Amino acid sequence: MPASKQKVAIARVLQDEGYIHSFEVKEDVKAELTINLKYYQGKPVIELIARASRPGLRLFKGKNALPRVQGGLGIAIISTSQGVMSDHMARQKGIGGEVICYVA
């Protein structure tokens, strides 16, 4: 898929949280992002990806209102003033931001 700074940041969060095996950005005429999925017992680790914010309706949450995905078993990816991070990391840092998507 075409690469962008936000897509690379989301892939980095997914890798840090253990949802993907690895990712690579190929710099040719157009930068291309390749993601290698992670599997457990023959099934993909990622069962659900749901977009929260969209161009017509941005979803912002404060530090006390960050969502818990599937009772804490999944993550929400948040775009904050300190970069893109998981909801767990945003809670630790005490910051809120735009909820980009949910992953479980």
Residue 33 predicted with pLDDT over 90? yes
Say what the pLDDT of residue 5 is: 96
Q: How confident is the model at residue 72 (pLDDT cuts 50, 70, 90)?
A: confident
Give mean pLDDT, residues 23-47.
Answer: 94
CATH of 5-103, one of 3.40.50.620, 3.30.1310.10, 1.10.10.10, 3.30.1490.10: 3.30.1490.10
How would residue 28 be classed by pLDDT, with cut points 50, 70 and 90? confident
Cα–Cα distance between 43 and 38 in angstroms, integer?
Answer: 9
The string of DSSP codes covering 41-98 is: TTEES---EEE--BTTB--EE-TTSPPPGGGGTSEEEEEETTEEEEHHHHHHHT--EE
Domain boundaries of the chain, sorted by first residue? 5-103
pLDDT for 97 equals 98
pLDDT band at 71 (very low <50, low <70, confident <90, very high): confident
What pLDDT band is residue 31 in, cutting at 50, 70 and 90?
A: very high
pLDDT of residue 59 exceeding 90, the answer is yes
Residues 18-32, mean pLDDT to the nearest whole number:
94
